[in-house]
Structure 1
Amino acid sequence: MRITVVAVGKLKERFWADACAEYLKRLGAYAKVGVVEVADVDPGRAGGVDAARAKEGDAILAALPAGAHVVLMAIEGRQRSSEALSRRIDDLALSGTSDIAFVIGGSDGVSRAVYDRADETLSFGPITLPHNLARVVLLEQVYRAFKISRGEPYHK
């Protein structure tokens, strides 16, 4: 299985990058996992929020692997427990899906085109997370999902 995280913006602080690197290293035992960072666009320079979202959206869509099952991280998305996320990833794999792409948009959200491309939306709940932290949490939850799926200790 291949998992791609497409995220708007770069991890500027070392502690975010180190946390992501740790989970990417751990995930290497279970799947091929990569992160693609697309540039965040300043609305002031792009002609407004909608124009910035559109430019970021084009970059997100271009970064998605062809044929991937796309999961958009969105506050209004479906909430799943760690066990349910594990089952969902297993179900996708059993149905023949070999590529899953998770999308973390920018601070102003994502374009309509990205919503339209998404196969499903996932939420960490009604809380607001900084995008850097959302990336760490996502990678941790995907790692936890693989551990749960294989009955390995970690998730309690």
Structure 2
Amino acid sequence: MKITLLTIGKTEDKYLIEGIDIYFKRLKHYIPFKITEIPELKNTKSLSKEQQKSREAELIFKNIQSTDHVILLDENGKEFSSKDFSVYLNKKMVGGQQHLVFIIGGPYGFSDEVYSRSNDKISLSQMTFSHQMIRLFFAEQLYRAYTILKGEPYHHD
């Protein structure tokens, strides 16, 4: 199984880039993992929120395959403990899933078409975080999940 984190826009803050890089390197030990950044839309002032979501959807669809298992990182998604998230990932591996694509949407979330295409929705918290911070939090939780699965001492109960 391989995992992709698909994001709208780039991570700009140096401290976040450094943190993401730390977990990106650590994850390579456990699973093929990549981050794909879709450029932010330009000249959006004349676009409605729905138009922006629709244009972002077009870009998202260009980066996923019909066989991908698509998981949206969404405020209304299912919440997991770190252990439960590791169980979720393990079920996907054991179930023969080849490619998980986790998606962080743009500032207004996802279009109805993206919601329709998704297989799951996960929320990392009931709190709201910047899209850039979510990338770091997700990478850390993914790393934590794999250390839990391997019985390594990173996670403490």
TM over 0.5: yes
Matched with 1:134 is: 134
1:3 maps to 2:7: no
C-alpha deviation, 1:43, in angstroms? 3.0
Work out the number of aligned pairs and report it.
155
Native 8 Å contact 1:9 1:39 kept in 2: yes
Structure with the higher fraction of residues in helix conformation: 1
Matched with 2:45 is: 44
Instruction: Summarize deviations over 1:96-139 as a string: whole Å, max 9, x none.
Output: 10211100001111111111111000001211010011010001
Q: Percent of counterpart pairs with the same letter?
A: 29
**Unmatched segments (≥5 aa) in structure 1:** none
Q: What is the alpha-carbon distance in structure 1 between the residues aligned to residue 149 and residue 83 of structure 2?
A: 8
Q: What SS does the aligned partner of 1:44 have?
A: coil
Q: What SS does the aligned partner of 1:37 have?
A: strand
Q: What SS does the aligned partner of 1:43 have?
A: coil
Q: What SS does the aligned partner of 1:7 have?
A: strand
TM-score by length of 1: 0.95
C-alpha deviation, 1:14, in angstroms? 1.4
C-alpha deviation, 1:44, in angstroms? 0.9
Alignment of 1:47-58 (within 5 A): 47-58=47-58
Q: What is the alpha-carbon distance in structure 1 between the residues aligned to residue 70 and residue 116 of structure 2?
A: 10
Native 8 Å contact 1:39 1:56 kept in 2: no
Amino acid at match of 1:49: K
CA RMSD, aligned part only?
A: 1.1
**Unmatched segments (≥5 aa) in structure 2:** none
Using the TM superposition, name which of 60-69 and 28-37 deviates more: 60-69
Alignment of 1:62-101 (within 5 A): 62-101=62-101
Instruction: Return structure 1 stretches of 4+ with deviation > 3 angstroms.
Output: none
Q: What is the alpha-carbon distance in structure 1 between the residues aligned to residue 61 and residue 16 of structure 2?
A: 24
TM-score by length of 2: 0.94
C-alpha deviation, 1:66, in angstroms? 4.4
Instruction: Summarize deviations over 1:58-85 as a string: whole Å, max 9, x none.
Output: 1112112441111100011000010011
Amino acid at match of 1:17: I
